[in-house]
Chains A and B, each alone.
Chain A
């Protein structure tokens, strides 16, 4: 029934390949050959043919009109103060061009389908493999080249060439060194210092502890950030979320007892997963949620991870108040903020 594993013999002079696990049945049903061609209406009826010609021409003319309309629309729908004009400009210019393009496209395809011959033709394929003579000739050329250059014979040249080739791309790697400085040290520090006022983001207004009611949230930056030259870089590390809870809800670690002020706690806003701002606060669960990958942190327990792909709690900023009652930082964060990095070593 099957000559599994054996080769298929072909009538042509083409190379005979191993058919592997293929089953070649001895009494397969025979290929009946190409189906007889079905004549289209446009082939046998002059009326239909002429109609098709008119349709194709109409589509091309429609395309011409569309392109003309696009030029008209460019001037007829200028962009003025009113933002609705942007929409009209986009819409009518776009529709004109659309008509110009679709008219050509549909017309050409319609032409091909109705008026050009639709009888399928068959063309021979040949195996990609070159003829035996060509393969022999190619091998001969390689051998000759090897012999003439002495590539195989002259080991010294060959090996020194390999050495040179291995070394030449390496300077290119060094060229990239000046793309940026090593920042691992900068990743460990932020703008926060002892005594830095907590101010509102983005206005820079200082926050009085008495203004922070229970349950409220403040987006906070260090005072003076807006005046910094590299303020985006600093903000990308120093952004903080300030929340006031009922002190009874806080389950504070004794070691961090003094880091909060009367139920007010401040945590880094930069997610410890990949660095999105953890901007969503759910009041009744006291959870902070990162909108990018849904890492969830529990504010009552030092922002430990309760859900999502993050691994580490959000770093806490130790805070207190100054003599005027404004919230200030006791120090910088005690650990690097934001996503983990290789040298972080927690």
Chain B
């Protein structure tokens, strides 16, 4: 650049080549200095993205060795205990990957661990988005894309761990078969179509393989592209802070800072997965043996992200089946499926519900602190609790055996908790949020407690409060506040049902509210305590020089300067 007279260098020539063919300079000019805000919680989505890339890489390696066939063979491989056992080609090739391919077991473990991490990171990312209100306009559609990605992640995981055709995964498939058979009208047809006839048949592994390595990853990839495309369109949200507005984005430029940070982070995520895969065994299929419909091991568990579905099946009460119109209605299966679907639909619909309540049409790019949206945070906590109880429900047997409890009591407790715990979580969370808001309010109005006790001339003792600096204060007062509405008549003078409903829901949301401190309230609070302040701060000014020199805090400086 500084040597314009020189012949263009190697890179410059290549850049010129690219620009003259695809106009790369324009793209770089547009995106090269794009600003991204910085926060640890923004990396959760990145972890999900990077573990997906690791899944693609390790999965491709596995396809070179795995054979998705259920043809029976007699095992004659390296793993002694299973020598001579009859098994499917799929299971045999999984054993061969583990025991005969150098780095094969490592890649299997990388693949399985990154799958667990993918769904976990995506789930945590969803929670971050939910609790900070990042799903609000204009990002509602991207929230839906995210929910779809989460479900696709579960589907990818399930179809993947069913492939080795071992005893554990075979029993997982048996459960799926049982669930499908419980579906009204089409259930037994879908089951026989899926398994190519009677369960287990000889087709299912090859069919799941097609879904697992082609359809599902392709869909995930498409939805990730859409997801990220919308992130570029909307620009990333940022947390509230001085200078951060709905009309700007504050952070670091893509080049060079984010290329280094995010690029480096990919290697860190990959590295951590590799470290875990190198040191911790996962899914030791050789211990389970090949699939046989008769044996089963006690304490069977699905991968963690399927746990809540398995828990839902376990928590269904006994004797729910009914026989109506000459057909079997398996409510013990339908009810859990309905519960799971309704939960997912509510999660997907939440942004639209909240927007209907607030009626707020504005774009929101500054994130909420969870405490500043108490009802939303409480709803989220209730949802998390509901999910968590279902999830723990999948471990009733392990809880009972490990803690020497009665299995029946553990399960009954879970059934009760599933209904009760979300309400408790809602109430407790909402109260905590409101209390935290009140604490913030008190800090803004009266400053921070310093722990310094001063004796007044007339003998009274008073604790000195240190005022906030304007940047800290802004973080505590910058939030959106809503007020409940009344059911108002429409143009025809009628109060519609939907208006009544909205009024009721808005009361539920915003009846308990703490408004951000205004400039007027702040001034009033200061003048109220003025006498005390004058009395305290006079002696403080004398002591100040020695103390302040040591502390060197801008806040403290400002306080003494004001005086």
Contacts and interface: CB of A to CB of B under 8 A. Distances in A.
B175 A25 contact: no
B83 to A, nearest CB: 12
Closest 7 CB pairs of A and B: A94-B278, A274-B178, A20-B359, A108-B264, A105-B267, A101-B271, A34-B243
B248 A122 contact: yes
A264 interface: no
Interface in A253-267: none
Interface in A295-312: 295, 305, 307-312
A8 B294 contact: no
A120 interface: yes
Contacts of B360: 17-22
Interface in A84-125: 86, 89-95, 97-102, 104-109, 111-113, 116-118, 120-125
B184 interface: yes
Interface stretch (A73-81, A132-140, A159-167, A243-251): A73-81
Interface in B453-501: 470-471, 473-474, 477-478, 480-485
Interface of A: 2, 4-5, 8, 10, 12, 14, 17-23, 25, 27-35, 74, 78-79, 81, 83, 86, 89-95, 97-102, 104-109, 111-113, 116-118, 120-125, 127-128, 176-177, 179-184, 186-187, 201-202, 219, 221, 230, 232-233, 235-237, 239, 269-271, 273-277, 279-280, 291-295, 305, 307-312, 338-346
A2 B483 contact: yes
A101 to B, nearest CB: 3
A296 B317 CA distance: 12
B274 A101 contact: yes
Given A91-B278, A125-B247, A277 B319 contact: no
A128 to B, nearest CB: 5
A129 to B, nearest CB: 9
B318 interface: yes
Contacts of B162: none
A105 B266 contact: yes
A344 B471 CA distance: 70
Contacts of B272: 102
A108 B328 contact: no
Given A8-B362, A94-B278, A292-B300, A233 B98 contact: no
A221 B294 contact: yes
B293 interface: yes
Nearest to B266: A105
Contact of B293 (A95, A124, A239, A274): A239
Interface stretch (B124-132, B218-226, B429-437, B516-524): B516-524
Interface residues of B, number: 139
B282 to A, nearest CB: 11
B177 A339 contact: yes
Nearest to B333: A274
Interface in B235-292: 235, 241-243, 245-253, 256-257, 260-261, 263-272, 274-275, 277-279, 291-292
Contacts of B506: 21
B278 A95 contact: yes
A94 B275 contact: yes
Given A105-B271, A106-B264, A29 B519 contact: yes
B482 A22 contact: yes
A32 B242 contact: yes
Interface in B63-82: 78-80
A292 B395 CA distance: 10
Contacts of A97: 106, 274, 278
Of A4, A128, A339, the most chain B CB neighbours within 10 A belong to A339
B194 A120 contact: no
Contacts of B330: 311, 339-340
B298 to A, nearest CB: 5
B361 A20 contact: yes
A29 B105 CA distance: 60
Given A180-B194, A294-B411, A340-B321, 19 more contacts: A5-B485, A23-B515, A33-B243, A35-B243, A83-B79, A89-B102, A90-B105, A90-B109, A105-B270, A116-B256, A125-B365, A180-B195, A233-B200, A277-B296, A291-B298, A292-B175, A309-B317, A340-B181, A341-B182
B320 A311 contact: yes
A168 to B, nearest CB: 21
A177 B198 CA distance: 15
Interface stretch (B185-193, B531-539, B542-550): B185-193
Given A29-B519, A109-B261, A305 B326 contact: no
A311 B174 contact: no
Nearest to B482: A21
A108 B520 contact: no
Interface string B196-215: 11111101000100000000
